């Protein structure tokens, strides 16, 4: 006889800061809670050597230490963790059936905290120097490049937003763009191009990122003339796009045009009993503190949903 799926009050999908905070709140509220993570618990922030902008830490804390502490706190209240990949969610009466690589589970409410991935450029040196000069987040890492020259790769809103953020710190910012016009909104272009320390290198692509221990140069070439050059910089900010982890959510909840989950201010999605938090939701500011805040909001509203 087939075993019936294990039942929970709340299933949380994703073990980054959003999911861990949601799990801490729901398990502390005495709801039987399961967090499902397909990789290492901690989420994207485990790639950050130092986090300087999470409240309560006067000294920088490593992303690993921060999320290990979050996990310990949540499991201390009874949160269970399962290493598995979620592949679908279905509503069956008042229950949600969550399909995973380890079998089905049921829950009275689901919190999606599956985050996003930053698109990689895929050039030599990118992986090697990530965290040692290569960054995907100016808000996170800009302050490490005070009075140093940097490049930003990309030509859309994200690239110019990153470049503008970097004007607070970097001595010079070169935006490397593969076309001869930017895709960013006009207003952002005007703002960025008016900055004396922002310069755009048109029709240019990055070939290689190099250095000793840390990045010290970037090799580029002009796609029209073929001319190669080397820029001496300390930082490379990649702004070539985000990919939300929502492939398993198509037809389950409403997604916006970039594939992130549309939520209301209680973190509710278009499907009753399913909430979404952190980087995976529309208009997220993609920061740990915001992910944690979303997790708390969703947990409290999921509890209200369950208890009626």
Ligand X SMILES: Cc1cc2nc3c(=O)[nH]c(=O)nc-3n(C[C@H](O)[C@H](O)[C@H](O)COP(=O)(O)OP(=O)(O)OC[C@H]3O[C@@H](n4cnc5c(N)ncnc54)[C@H](O)[C@@H]3O)c2cc1C
**Looking at the annotation, which residues are catalytic?**
137, 140-141
Binding mask 236-275 for ligand X (x = CB under 6 A): ---------x--x---------------------------
Give start and end residues of each alpha helix (H) in 29-153.
Answer: 63-76, 138-141
Tell me which stretch binds ligand X (CB under 6 A): 3-11, 102-110, 175-183, 282-290: 282-290
Return all residues near 53 (Cβ < 8 A) that are at least 6 apart.
139, 140, 287, 288, 289
Tell me which stretch binds ligand X (CB under 6 A): 12-20, 90-98, 160-168, 209-217: 12-20
Contact 96, 108 (CB under 8 A): yes
Q: With CB under 6 A, what is the number of residues at the site for ligand X? A: 38
Alpha carbon distance 202, 42 (integer Å): 38
Closest distance between ligand X and the C-beta of residue 92, in Å?
20
**125-158 burial, b for 16+ CB within 10 Å, e for fewer?**
bbeebbebbbbbbbebbbebbeeebbbbbbbbbb
What values do phi and psi take at 88, rounded to 5? -175, 160
The two tokens of residue 235 are 């930082």
Return all residues near 208 (Cβ < 8 A) that are at least 6 apart.
123, 124, 125, 218, 219
Considering the complex, state which of residue 63 and residue 182 has its C-beta at the smaller distance from ligand X.
Answer: 63
Contact 150, 172 (CB under 8 A): yes
Considering the complex, state which of residue 215 and residue 291 has its C-beta at the smaller distance from ligand X.
Answer: 291
Contact 228, 220 (CB under 8 A): yes
Out of 9, 10, 11, 17, name the contact with ligand X by CB under 6 A: 17
Out of 278, 299, 302, 303, name the contact with ligand X by CB under 6 A: 278
Out of 34, 45, 176, 236, name the contact with ligand X by CB under 6 A: 45
Considering the complex, state which of residue 213 and residue 225 has its C-beta at the smaller distance from ligand X.
Answer: 213
Binding mask 110-149 for ligand X (x = CB under 6 A): ---xxxx-x-----------------xx--x---------
Kindly state whether residue 16 participates in binding ligand X, applying the rule CB under 6 A. yes
Tell me which stretch binds ligand X (CB under 6 A): 30-38, 149-157, 160-168, 174-182: 30-38
Alpha carbon distance 204, 123 (integer Å): 14
Task: Summarize as ranges the residues that interact with ligand X (CB under 6 A).
Answer: 13-19, 36-39, 43-45, 47-48, 51, 53, 85-86, 113-116, 118, 136-137, 140, 245, 248, 278-280, 286-289, 291
């Amino acid at each position: 006889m087939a075993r019936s799926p294990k039942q929970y009050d709340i299933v949380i999908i994703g073990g980054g800061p959003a999911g861990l905070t949601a799990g801490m709140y729901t398990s502390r509220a005495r709801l039987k809670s399961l967090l499902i993570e397909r990789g290492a618990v901690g989420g994207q922030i485990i790639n950050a050597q130092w986090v300087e902008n999470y409240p309560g830490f006067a000294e920088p804390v490593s992303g690993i230490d921060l999320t290990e502490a979050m996990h310990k706190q949540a499991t201390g209240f009874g949160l269970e963790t399962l290493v598995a990949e979620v592949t679908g969610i279905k509503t069956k009466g008042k229950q949600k059936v969550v399909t995973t690589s380890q079998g089905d589970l049921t829950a009275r409410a689901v919190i999606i905290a599956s985050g996003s991935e930053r698109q990689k450029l895929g050039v030599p040196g990118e992986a090697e120097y990530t965290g040692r000069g290569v960054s995907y987040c100016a808000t996170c890492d800009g302050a490490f490049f005070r009075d140093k020259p940097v490049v930003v790769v990309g030509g859309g809103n994200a690239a110019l937003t990153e470049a503008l953020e970097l004007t607070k710190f970097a001595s010079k910012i070169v935006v490397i763009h593969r076309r001869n016009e930017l895709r960013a909104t006009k207003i952002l272009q005007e703002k960025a191009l008016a900055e004396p320390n922002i310069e755009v290198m048109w029709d240019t692509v990055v070939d290689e990122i190099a250095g000793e221990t840390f990045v010290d140069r970037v090799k580029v070439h002009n796609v029209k003339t073929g001319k190669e050059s080397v820029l001496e910089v300390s930082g490379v900010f990649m702004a070539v796009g985000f990919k939300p982890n929502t492939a398993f959510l198509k037809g389950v909840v409403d997604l916006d045009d970039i594939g992130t989950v549309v939520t209301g201010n209680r973190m509710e999605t278009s499907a009753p009993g399913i909430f979404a938090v952190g980087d995976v939701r529309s208009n997220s500011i993609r920061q740990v503190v915001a992910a944690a805040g979303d997790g708390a909001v969703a947990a409290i509203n999921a509890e209200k949903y369950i208890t009626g």
